[in-house]
Structures are given as structure tokens and as C-alpha cells.
Structure 1
Amino acid sequence: MELSVVLLLAVLTGLLLLLARGHPKAHGHLPPGPRPLAFLGNILQMDRRGLLKSFLRLREKYGDVFTVYLGPRPVVMLCGIEAIREALVDQAEAFSGRGRVSTVERIFQGHGVIFANGERWKLLRRFSLATMKNFGMGKRSIEERIQEECQCVVEELRKTQGESPENGYAGEEDLTAPSLLQVFELFYNFLKYFPGTHKQIYKNVQEIIAFIEDAVEKHRETLDPSTPRDFIDAYLIRMDKEKSDPNSEFHHRNLICTVLSLFFAGTETTSSTLRYGFQLMLKYPHVTERVHKEIDQVIGPHRLPSLDDRAKMPYTDAVIYEIQRFSDLFPIGAPHMVTKDTHFRGYFMPKVRPAGLPHFARVGILGSLNLCT
């Protein structure tokens, strides 16, 4: 019994010493930041209302470039447009690596255009951009498709008969909010074996993947290589061209993960912005009234809006910009990693080694003013 008590005291003493010492020093000369605790990192110093508030507070103390330990992992935060431009534009190659997002790592496993790295990322990104441009992205030719989607949205709104289509304020739940997912991201290697929200996310995404798999199969059955109809057709054609190359990145797994990535990127950003817009129009009826008046004057009730109308509707255009500024959908950008040992603003960031040091993330320009106040 006495031996057990001694062992317990020894373990507790060792743990306290580790906590007092903090996290072992990372390789390289990383930017300054709050002193971390062993295993926990800086989590006890984070704001309970979300990581974003904590990062903004640390920015005031340490400047636009600082280091925080999210659990045992060091993360270099880049804040503000100048620091982000220096990293992602001036040193684009060095900062082009994609960091790990534990919640979806099991799903993508480094495949698809968003979560890939190296040559795979370059090939898929180049192909995706070229293909989407061929189908009208950023061109006038896509206007008709947007108008078709707008008609569908209007029809769905009419079905609500004036009732709010969703309860609660748009954007109440996100990754910047305090949640179990944050804890899961910090301690993934331990918590992945336990039940939680991440299990439900995996299940939900599997349903979307099944939908995409079915769509790919239907596209394959009706494929005409001379007249590709969409992104999936174009990818299948490229797959057939490179099917004899065992090292080709144009295979089925990358197709599914790329379509899944584009699906999330295209639908979530658009739908969230619309929800913010609807909620803000309800909150500020005097703004809604002026927008409605301008729409009646320029477009009228009998035709769809077009890009040509934009120059004639300065107030509506300004309101749309303000909605996008206010909503700030991704204030904390996707995590990146340096692809080689990198010097940045007098600091040294080593390439990620098997131990996982270090990631770097970015914080964009943040809006804090309310709409039209």
C-alpha cells in the first residue's frame, strides 16, 4: 500500500515538473509566443469563446507573426495582409504545403485538390482551374447557369410562405467557435479512438461520397469524349488518356476527393453568405427597403438580374460587399506547412519532419463593424 502511494506521488511529481518546464524547444528559431505547457500547449490560455479571439489578443502582444502550441503542435500564426502576402505570394513555393486537418484526414488522406501536397497538388490544381474556366468560371458564359440557380432559390423561398427558412443566426457554429471539434484537432492521436462529433462527420461525408460515386458511374456510362458536359466528364477523359501510366495522379480516388472538395468549397461558402444576407436584411429593414427600391427601378419585376445591372445599382452592390465583409466566413484560413527550411521575417521555420514541426496557419483581415452602422 505504501509503495503504491510512493509511486503515485512520484508520477504526480514528474507530471508537475513537466508542466513547469513547458514544451520542449522546437527545432529552428520560431517566432515568439506564450510559454506552452507540456502536452497541453497553450490551450489553457485560449479564450473559451473560440480560438479567433485568443489569436487576436496574442497578435496585440506579439505582433503579426507569433507561435502558439495547439496541444503538442507548434503553429506559426500569420496575421494581416502584409504578412500573408509575404508568405503566400513572395515565398509561395516555400509556404505551399498543406497542413493536416485531423477532422477530415481520415476521409481525404492527402488526396483531392485541397488536401494534397507536392506534385499531386500542382497537377490537380492546374487541371481543376483550367477545366472550370473552360466551363465558364469567371466568364460571361456562366451567367445563364447562375440565373437558373437563382430561380431555384427564389422558388424555395416562395415555399416558405414568409417563414424563416432556418432558425438561429447564420454562422453561429463554425470552427472558430468553441467546440469538441477543436479539442479533437488538438489531441487527434488520442481522441480518434473515442466516440464523438468526428464520427458523425465521417458518417455524413460518406453519404456525400456515395452520391458522388453514383454520379461518376452515371457519367462513365453516358460519356462522350468529344463533348464533355462537366468537370467529371473532363476528369474521366483525362483518366482514360493516362490509364497506361501507373504513376498518374488522375485516378478514381483523386477524382472522388477532388469533386468532394469542390462541392464543399462551392456550396458552403455560397449558402453561408446567402444565410448571412437574409438574416442581415431582416435585421436592417431600412437597408432592405433601399435595396428593394433600387432593384425595382433598375430591374423591375419581370426579368432576371444580369451582370450589366451591377454598374447601375451602386447601393445594392455596396450592401453585397458589406455582407461579405461582415460575414468573414473563414477568418482563420486553411493550415499550411513549409515545404523546405524557410527564413521569414528574421525567424527560421524548419520543414516538417516526422515529429510534425511546425505547421503554420494564417489569420485574414478581420471585420468587426456591423452592417451599415
Structure 2
Amino acid sequence: MAEAGLYIHIPFCEKRCRYCDFYTLAGSRGRIPDYLAALQRELALRAAEPFWQRQRFATLFFGGGTPSLLSPQQIAEILDSCFAQLRFAERVEVTLEANPGTIDGTQMAKYRAVGVNRLSLGVQSFDAAELTLLERVHSPQQALVAAQNARYAGFENLNLDFMFALPNQTLAHWQQTLQQAVALAPDHLSAYNLTIEPGTPIHAAIQRGELKPLTPEEEREFFAFTIGFLEQHGYRHYEISNFAKPGFAARHNLKYWDGSPYLGLGASAHSFDGKRRFWNVANLRKYLERLAQGKLAEEGEEKLTLQQRMFEFAFLGLRQRRGIPLAEFSQKFKMPLAQAFNGELRRLEAQGLVIHEGEYLRLSREGVFLCDEICGRLAG
């Protein structure tokens, strides 16, 4: 049985970033105690469900929002409740997302002492103008100090998050950010091509003509440079947006990509039990009210058809450098991969966009740059 992952959403932020379309709340820190009480009630309700009682959890991820707005004591209380009510593997990866502007070395050491063993810092850029564009609350110097403090605090598994292909960004500026990043020797780097989501302030600024997004050709140039640069510095490109030193791939994120079950707690959190995807209400008031009544805050669900499950398995497999495991696909869906998707994979292979490598079918070098288009073709 595949081991499960546990995600805990902490929606509170000092300030909502210009590009963010996640469920977050700025200026609401006074609601944190109420939220954590509701979170504890939700945990107890889910832990009583037979499906989650049968699972063994190997990862726990505090995401947001800005989880580092919680005190180490508050994080410790959540961890104690999780370990008391759910079944965990012997070696659990416990990740905390942190904003470099909301955490110091003393706080990091306390997080490490209560059981957090992987820290993920949302740096995004080492360029002051780019941080201002994104409306981040930290400076380049604060990000540098935070990464150094993480090591002093005892974190042996450190991730740094970055964004590229920002409006008006030059490749030279991006190269400087990457050079500063690798100089810090993190164990893991996430590098995301900025997605302009409708409804965000940055999208509105582009619509008004105040910002000019990069062209698809420029985005590809940035992506190609990122892959080459980080691979030259010893980081394996193991997923479209993720790079790791040997042995430091993000175990929690791998749960999402390999089809393992995962349980999400908190407002807007998503869960997956292998066949059904379900999610909580993205509204703090409604979340608190429902849990106060002893009810789950589940807002919706999607029961995946066989075709949907096959597509997701293939799509998430292709996002990984290793590709789609052929034997596992056949075992899971009772048919060889070559017979699925109306022969589209054969056409992709003939075009040189996917290749067989051992027991996997993966994207070719050219296919990596066309991942979204390729997956769209599989979706029909």
C-alpha cells in the first residue's frame, strides 16, 4: 500500500502577494487561535474515518499562506495531535513553508526542535525590484540571511522557492538570482514559471497595460537556461519545476505526482483517496462555523472516472523526469499504456516528444518544453 501524505493549510499572511491565487488572508492574525481550534476538530473527525485510519502517513506539509506566522509552540501542538491520532511511518518528512521576512534564526531553531525537519523558504528572487513587483514583504538580504540561519538552526533539508519569466525580467537578472541561490547550497530548488492567474492584481496590471508579460519564446529560453544551469551545479531536474541534490527530492510532493492518497486539513485544503477528490470550503467564517457544529467543512467532491484516473496517472508521470511507469500503469488499469488515449502516445513518440527509457515512457528534451500541450493532447 502506498504511504499517504498529510497537508495542513495555514491561510494567514502579512500581505497578499500580487500574483497569488491561493486562499489566503492578510491582516487576520487575530483569528489564528480560532482557526487552530477548528483545525484540531477537523483532524479528530478525519482521524475517526476508517479510510484514514488504515493509512500510514510518511509526510506532513504545512503550506499556506505563511505557516511561519504560527509560533513553534502552535506547530508543536498540531504535530502532537497528528502523531497521536494518525498512523505515521518511522521516518516522517515534516515540511514548513516560511517567508524570509517573518522568521528569524531563533524561531527556526525552535521549529527544528519541535519536529520540523524540512524548511521551504519562499525567496522568489534575489532582485529587489522583482520582489517589489511581486509585492513580497522581504528584501534580498533578508532572504540570504534566512537561508544561512536555516543551516545554523540545524536544518539539513532546505528548499528555496523561486519564480522566473516575470514581466520585464531579463535573463541576466534571472541568472544572477540563480547564482546566488546555488552559492547558498540548498538541498532542493523549486523554480516556477510565473503563471498569470485571472483575478490577481498582477493580471489586472497586465490588462491595463502597466506590465508586459514575456512571450512564450522568452519563457522557453528562461526555462531551458534554468534546467541547464541547475543541472551543471549538481541539481537533478526530477519534476518540471523541481530540482534536487541526490536523495533530497520532496517526498511530500511526490505523493501528489505518483497518485498516493493525501489528506488536506484547513480552509480550502484538497484531499484524494485514490478515486475521489474532495475539498474544503475556501472561506474562514464558514470553515469555523461548520467545525464549531461538529461538521466537516467539505464543500465539494469529484469522483474520478477510469478515464480521468488514467489521464491523471499519465499526466503526473510525464511531469516527472523518470516518466510513466509502464508496468504500474498496466497493473493499475488492466491495459498496456500503448492502448490508452486512442493512440495519441504513439503519435507523440513518432514526433520525438516522448521516448521509452527502460520501463518508463518519459518526455524527450523537446517534450519537456511542451509538457502542457502534450498533456492537453492526452486529455482529448
TM-score class, shorter-chain normalisation, is under 0.3
TM value normalised by structure 2:
0.23
Bigger strand share: 2
Bigger helix share: 1
Q: Max radius of gyration: which structure?
A: 1
Q: Which has the higher contact order (CA 8 A, sep 6+)?
A: 1
TM value normalised by structure 1:
0.23
